[in-house]
């Protein structure tokens, strides 16, 4: 196994995980809400929107944080080797999966498992298995 030392950042990854965990804990302890991105964003689209303030702040933080990180150091730029059609179909499928799973990887994987939810454990294992299967199919059968 070859590890690309340029992209191997265990310290930054640990720090990011701790910050995500802390943010999720603060949201549930002080606001009684789960930090699932699909639920937070979906709540902005549903009516009535009586709690849109914290939802907008959360989504704005997701957009602004990488910009600030880029200003403070080397920007993280994703290199996606796909056309817009593939990206749109993939985004639709992710959204559909999150809808069927009653949440996304952040809601189930970060928040649900930490609360001891069996449904979240099953959902997260399913997400991970589907991702693994997708990589195997792409790398070995399609020739990625």
Which residues are within 8 A (CB) of 144 and not within 5 positions of it... i.e. 6 or more apart?
A: 138
* pLDDT, average across residues 77-93: 86
* pLDDT, average across residues 29-40: 87
Tell me the whole-structure pTM to 2 decimals: 0.71
Is 4 among the domain residues?
Answer: no
Is 1 among the domain residues?
Answer: no
Is 3 among the domain residues?
Answer: no
Domain range for 31 is: 10-142
For residues 104 and 77, the model is more confident at 104
Is 61 among the domain residues?
Answer: yes
- pLDDT at residue 133 is higher than 90: yes
* pLDDT, average across residues 63-84: 81
Is 5 among the domain residues?
Answer: no
Query: Which residue, among 139, 140, 141, 138, has the nearest Cα to 86 in the 3D structure?
Result: 138
**For the chain, how many structural domains are there in total?**
1
Is 111 among the domain residues?
Answer: yes
Is 98 among the domain residues?
Answer: yes
User: Can you give the pLDDT at residue 47?
Assistant: 74
User: Can you give the pLDDT at residue 75?
Assistant: 67
Separation of alpha carbons 85 and 68, rounded Å: 29
Is 43 among the domain residues?
Answer: yes
């Amino acid at each position: 196994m070859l590890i690309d030392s340029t992209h191997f950042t265990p310290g930054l990854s640990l720090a990011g995980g701790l910050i995500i965990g802390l943010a999720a804990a603060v949201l549930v302890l002080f606001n009684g809400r789960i930090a699932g991105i699909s639920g937070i964003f979906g709540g902005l689209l549903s009516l009535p929107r009586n709690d849109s303030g914290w939802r907008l702040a959360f989504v704005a933080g997701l957009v602004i944080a990488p910009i600030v990180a880029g200003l403070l150091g080397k920007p993280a730029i994703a290199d996606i080797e796909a056309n817009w059609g593939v990206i749109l179909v993939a985004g639709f499928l992710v959204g559909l999966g999150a809808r069927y799973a009653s949440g996304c990887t952040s809601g189930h994987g970060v928040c649900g498992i930490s609360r001891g939810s069996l449904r979240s454990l099953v959902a997260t294992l399913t997400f991970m298995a589907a991702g693994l299967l997708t990589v195997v199919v792409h790398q070995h059968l399609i020739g990625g």
